[in-house]
Chain A
Amino acid sequence: MTRNLALFGTVAVLFILTGMFQSWNLSLSILGISLLSAIMALGVNIQWGYAGLFNTGIMGFTALGGLAVVLVSARPVAEGWAAGGTGILGGLFLGAASIAAAVFAWNRMAPGRARMLVTLVICIGGFILFRMVFDPAVSAVEAFNPATAGNIGGLGLPALVSWPVGGLLAAAAAWAIGKISLGLRSDYLAIATLGIAEIVIAVMKNEDWLARGVKNIIDLPRPWPVPYEVELQQSAAFVDWATRWGFDPMTASSIIVKLMYIALFTAVLLAVIWLSERALNSPWGRMMRAIRDNEVSSAAMGKDVKRRHLQVFILGSAVVGIAGAMYTSMAGQLLPGEYNPLRFTFLIWVMVIVGGSGNNWGAVLGGLLIGWLWLIVESLGPLVMSGIVAGMADGALKTHLVDSAQHMRLLTLGVILLLVLRFSPRGLIPEK
């Protein structure tokens, strides 16, 4: 227990040192993102630590959370919606209905050539119908004011509402993926999730009607208690307060905003961790760990392994989706081009492994520590690198080395992951 407190204390000192020697603004913004990463790490820990499921599509679930923010809380585009909203919904419904019909036909008909034929006809016919309804609606939506809109817009609801919706979207995707690839070899889940993540990003980049694709959505509203910096700076009371305490109003306003976000994220983090701990120490949690440790004997005890796996896979993905929604809310914009599997999938994995798989506090510690490391290298890396090469003659090699400092972190993270897996496979805070 003291050891764990000391570990968390060390991480706290890292953040304080960053604040003192660099800037509090930087330290707090790193803390905000690290807290979000810690929530994602908790989601992954639910899947990996509790059930041994290897999900390499975390990026996709994060992005789905971000998409939920746009769909729920962005400004409505009434004209765009009127132009093709019903067509798009109708098209999507037709697509889903034909898949459902095909599945129904496959399950209900006797095996044989007739079944194959009917299923194929339903699939192809459904696809043609879908394109016939969907394509004109999409062109109509995208034709409306493409410079600033060209999408169906959001519902204009408060940002806080969009967070659980992000979780629901991610959960739905997890259900579809899990239904297909759980129950097969563990590698297959990894490959299938890797694929679905790439596809989610491709859809978000290319379907302009949905969230404007790579044209990006900006100006998403902030969640409820967080004010805008400009408003604070214009409020006489705030400026008065800041100057009385000897702060610069500009800096103070941005620090206040960051602190508000941190408070929100911490609240969500604590809620998730409380629920996870309760679940882990309940009969359900013991059953999950029993399944993880020996699937055959748990199946012999009458546990439905595949169903439990599906359940835990959906739960973990939903947590990741919520964190993804919070990330987009904080950024205030959705940039599909920003999602990169190294940053949003594999970095989270390093957090879980380093922190201690199977232990929720370990995942949080890993999230904060690795999150700090990853982001601090961004600002410190080039500095250190130019210090190292200061003695070298100016030239192409020196510039190349300074520029490549940011790639060092991939290398460093890989080495950390390998070292932890080899020498301390249970992580910093091992499972009890």
Chain B
Amino acid sequence: MDILNALIVFLNFVFVPGLAYGAQLALGALGVTLIYGILRFSNFAHGDTMAFGTMVTILVTWWFQSMGINFGVLPTALLALPFGIAVTALFALGTDRVIYRFYRKQKAAPVILVMVSLGVMFVMNGIVRLIIGVDDQNFTDGERFVISAGDFKTATGLAEGLAIKTTQAVTVATALIVMALLFWFLQKTRTGKSMRAFSDNEDLALLSGINPDRVVAVTWIIAAGLATIAGVLYGLDKSFKPFVYFQLLLPIFAAAIVGGLGSPIGAIAGGFLIAFSEVMVTYAWKKVVTYIVPESMAPDGLLQLMSTDYKFAVSFAILIIVLIFMPTGLFKGKSV
């Protein structure tokens, strides 16, 4: 029986990675849910918007690095992030002006808009591959760990170490700040309130004199910003590969639907729910259990519910369960 070491193993391999991944998913799902709430379609190009924003940020990061600019112990990419957001927001506004606006004026069916977003996805995917290629790009710099496993062991004298990577700490901190800002914006500012009004009832909002073009433009800017931040944080934490960002669509959509499409708080809850389930189902619990149970009962197998290759299946399974039992999601989204 060694509860303390078991707890450290759990924190190190399940809780900390799950928290960081959950924050990334939550930011991505917030973008999807906002677009859904205001523009009323599922944006399939969101994964590639994340890739696009990350690519711009990486390019600016490289430029900074070549000029010798850095951010001390923090990754340089954080300095480049505002540039990434600005370029991505401009691009998103451009796609809205050139592509989506036409269908909005026509009041096209949501499924047509989804299909249009597929076209945008193709274009963005092509641009990203054209500029930066399909390979892995690692752009993390600065200090690697807040606490490394070795330091933790010497400091506490425990057998197990707890490592917290800088990128994980940065992810959680940034996500908290961004979410707080977003909620303050939605609850307290005039534009934010008009966005919520527009999302709740478009006709009434128009009747009370809310300018729809302005609401839509702000939505695109915020969604592009959220996508870029989520993408950069994911890239810092793991690595940047365009195809992986496309595949993130599934957990992100799952998070948004589980929380209830159109509900920002739901997107955050959904992001963490999906992330923790993914990590917990694919983690081999042998080490934790060995510490908790008496020596004679130590398990032989890995105690892994599913191999890590099936992490998509986890988000998918949760998605299916929610679709069957509560199609509007945990926080009563607007759909069905």
Bound: A360/B307 CA distance, A: 42
Task: Check A196 for interface membership: any CB of B closer than 8 A.
Answer: yes
A282 in the interface (beta carbon within 8 A) = no
Closest residue of B by beta carbon distance from A345:
B118
Chain A residues with CB under 8 Å of B114's CB are 54, 186-187, 190
Binds A, one of B123-131, B205-213, B223-231: B123-131
A421→B116 contact, CB < 8 A: yes
Instruction: Write out the residue numbers on chain B whose beta carbons fall within 8 Å of the beta carbon of A425.
Output: 112
Given contacts A199-B310, A202-B312, A411 and B126 within 8 Å (CB-CB): yes
Chain B contacts for A414, CB-based, 8 A = 119-126
Is B250 an interface residue when CB atoms closer than 8 A count as contact?
yes
Count of A-B contacts judged by CB separation below 8 Å: 131
Contacts of A198 in B (CB 8 A): 247, 250, 312, 316
The 9 closest A-B pairs by CB, nearest first: A414-B122, A411-B126, A410-B126, A414-B123, A407-B129, A417-B119, A195-B316, A418-B119, A187-B42
Compute how far the CA of A353 lies from the CA of B319 in the bound complex, rounded to whole angstroms.
29
**Contact between B125 and A342 (Cβ–Cβ < 8 Å)?**
yes
B319 pairs with A404, CB closer than 8 A: no
Is the CB of B253 closer than 8 A to any CB of chain A?
yes
A-B contact pairs, 8 of them (CB 8 A): A188-B327, A192-B320, A407-B129, A411-B126, A413-B122, A414-B123, A421-B116, A421-B119
Is A121's CB within 8 Å of the partner chain B?
Answer: no
User: Which residues of B, 244-294, contact A by the 8 Å Cβ criterion?
Assistant: 246-247, 249-250, 253-254, 257
CB distance from A344 to the nearest CB of B (A): 14
**Which of B122, B307, B320 contacts A346, CB < 8 Å?**
B122
Is B315 on the interface with A (CB-CB < 8 A)? yes
Asked whether any CB of chain A lies closer than 8 Å to the CB of B178, the reply is no
Report chain A residues within 8 Å CB of B115: 54, 349, 353, 417, 421
Indicate whether B297 reaches chain A with its CB closer than 8 angstroms: no
Q: Complex Cα distance A349/B124, Å?
A: 17
With CB as the reference atom, state the residue of chain B lying closest to A341: B246
Known interface pairs A198-B250, A205-B309, A206-B310. Does A411 touch B123 (Cβ–Cβ under 8 Å)?
yes
Asked if A223 CB lies within 8 Å of chain B CBs, one says no
Known interface pairs A188-B257, A421-B116. Does A404 touch B323 (Cβ–Cβ under 8 Å)? no
Residue B41, interface by CB 8 Å = yes
Our pick among A180, A187, A400 for the contact of B320 (Cβ within 8 Å) is A180
Q: How far is the CB of A170 from chain B (nearest CB, A)?
A: 18
Give chain B residues whose Cβ lies under 8 Å from the Cβ of A403: 133
Bound Cα distance from A194 to B44, whole angstroms? 10
Bound state CA distance, A313 and B287, in angstroms?
46
Q: Which chain A residues border B116 with CB–CB below 8 Å?
A: 418, 421
Measured between C-beta atoms, what is the minimum distance from A315 to chain B in Å? 20
Q: Which residue of B lies closest to A413 (CB)?
A: B122
Is the C-beta of B17 less than 8 angstroms from some C-beta in chain A? no
Interface residues of A (CB under 8 A from B): 52, 54, 56, 180-181, 184-188, 190-192, 194-196, 198-199, 202-203, 205-206, 341-342, 346, 349-350, 353, 400, 403-404, 407-415, 417-418, 421-422, 425
Q: How far is the CA of A196 from the CA of B116 in the complex (A)?
A: 22
Are B122 and A180 interface neighbours, CB within 8 A?
Answer: no
Known: A54-B114, A181-B323, A414-B125. 14 other contacts (CB 8 A): A52-B111, A188-B323, A190-B44, A198-B312, A198-B316, A349-B115, A353-B115, A403-B133, A410-B126, A411-B127, A413-B122, A414-B124, A421-B115, A422-B102
Q: Are B122 and A417 in contact (CB under 8 A)?
A: yes
Q: Which residues of A contact B315 (CB under 8 A)?
A: 195
Residue in chain B with minimal CB distance to A191: B253
Given A184-B336, A187-B42, A341-B246, the answer on whether A195 and B118 have CB atoms closer than 8 Å is no
CB distance from A325 to the nearest CB of B (A): 24
Whether A346 and B130, one on each chain, are in contact in the complex, defined by CB atoms closer than 8 angstroms, is no
Task: Provide the residues of chain A in CB contact with B121, threshold 8 Å.
Answer: 346, 414
Chain A residues with CB below 8 A from B134, complex form: 407
* Contact yes or no, B42 A191, CB < 8 A: yes
CA distance A400 to B249 in the complex (A): 28
Q: Is B147 close to A, CB under 8 A? A: no
> What string of 1s and 0s marks CB contacts (under 8 Å) between B292-336 and chain A?
000000000000000101101101100110011001000000011
CB distance from B305 to the nearest CB of A (A): 8
Contacting residues, chain B, for A185 (C-beta < 8 A)? 110, 335-336
Q: How far is the CA of A203 from the CA of B309 in the complex (A)?
A: 9
Q: With an 8 A cutoff between CB atoms, is B218 at the interface?
A: no
B260 to chain A, nearest CB (A): 13
What chain A residues lie within 8 Å of B11 (beta carbons)? none
Listed residue (B115, B133, B310) with the most chain A CB atoms within 10 angstroms of its CB: B115
